[in-house]
Amino acid sequence: MKRIFSGVKPTGHLTLGNYLGAVRRWADVDQHRADALFCVVDLHALTVEHDPARVRRLSRQAATLLLASGLDPELCTVFVQSHVDEHARLSYVLECVATDGEMRRMIQYKEKAARERERGGSVRLSLLTYPVLMAADILAYGTDEVPVGDDQTQHVELARDLAVRFNQRYGHTFVVPRATHPEVAARVMSLQEPTSKMGKSDDVGPGIVYLLDEPDVVRKKIMRAVTDSGQDVVYDRKARPGVANLLDILAACEGGNPEALSGVYESYGALKKDTAEAVVELLRPVQERHKQLCADPAYVEGVLRDGAEKAREMARPKVDAAYRAIGLLPAG
Ligand code: TYM
């Protein structure tokens, strides 16, 4: 059976981008067709300035939302990264096969480091090594596929490169993973700045639809989305990024094709209205289930405890094998 691993970082409230680009597919498809693990990657949230209490809160919320989105602990493993030591253990060993040049070339590192510096802050070393920890997340489980949005492609490529390099130098240890993306909405854009990604930690307020936004808030954000200067509804991501983004979102909600949908609409207003209603309907069951789960925090805690135990058992043999292969003396 195929092994699937993916994760979400608790640096902000989960967004429609996270849902359409990743989480929905984990629930609807991936957990049913493979041995799948889904992780709240809290160690990754410490790579930029953070408030400890907020990270804890967001980690709990992210785990609850993953379950509310339909991840079923009977079908897959849901857990929190810091509960499984193997991630950090393997990350160090992979740092010994990665190079600093490789890290400095990572697009997300360059963008985030520039932003930290603009704010007058300093760049944490963990921001530079972030992709190595992500590679460890993936490689520790012998992962075949990593279902992610478009923005994570470069990071998964790095995990592949490190796996191949490690195997060549120290003997076959790791499965070489590959990224998979949804056909539509692999990169949902900000509603206010449709040339930038809708990112939970990058953007603010009106450009982002959060999974827990009330229906009226969703409607308002989508109705006020920045569209393009033209009049007719055409699907052109370069020339008409705002309209293309709405068509992508609508197509992802309804299971259609964005290009075909563009022919159905004669005005931006009608497109926005239908998109808003489609998103409200998409989020409704997730929000209802989230409310129920919030009333039962012991259930969520139990799922995470069992998930961590299962994950630990799965990761340990692989990480032990990597330690032996690279020359570390077994503890006996
Ligand atoms: P994160 O937390 O930024 O995002 C979680 C998932 O949501 C996808 N995503 C999007 N998809 C489409 N449109 C968007 N606007 C959008 N925004 C986010 C992301 O591609 C991702 O699939 N580094 C990762 C977390 C991570 C991870 C891993 C993922 C850590 N270790 C191992 C896979 C495997 C991240 O920051 O995701």
Residue tagged 């979400």 (tokens): 8
92 and 113 part of one domain: yes
161 in the same domain as 68: yes
CA of 325 relative to ligand 1 center, distance in Å? 30
Q: Is 10 annotated as a binding residue?
A: yes
Query: How would you class 50 by CB atoms within 10 Å of its CB: exposed for 0-12, middle for 13-18, buried for 19 or more?
Result: middle
37-90 tens-digit pLDDT: 999 999 999 999 899 999 999 999 999 999 999 999 999 999 999 999 999 999
Best residue among 112, 148, 187, 202 to mutate for probing ligand 1's pocket (most ligand atoms within 8 Å of CB) is 148
| CATH for 96 | 3.40.50.620
Q: Cα(148) to centroid of ligand 1, in Å?
A: 6
- 255 and 313 inside one domain: no
- What total number of domains does the chain contain? 2
Q: For residue 109, what are its two tokens?
A: 């590192």
**How confident is the model over 132-180, as pLDDT tens digits?**
999 999 999 999 999 999 999 999 999 999 999 999 999 999 999 999 9
Q: Is 318 a catalytic residue?
A: no
Q: Which whole-number Å values give the CA distances from 282 to 10, 60, 149, 254, in the listed order?
A: 22, 22, 18, 9
Domain with 259, as residue range(s), is: 205-291
CA of 17 to the centre of ligand 1 (A): 9
- What are the φ/ψ torsions at residue 5 (nearest 5 degrees)? -135, 140
Enter the ipTM.
0.99
Q: Give the C-alpha separation, 144 to 131, whole Å.
A: 18
Residues 61, 137 within the same domain: yes
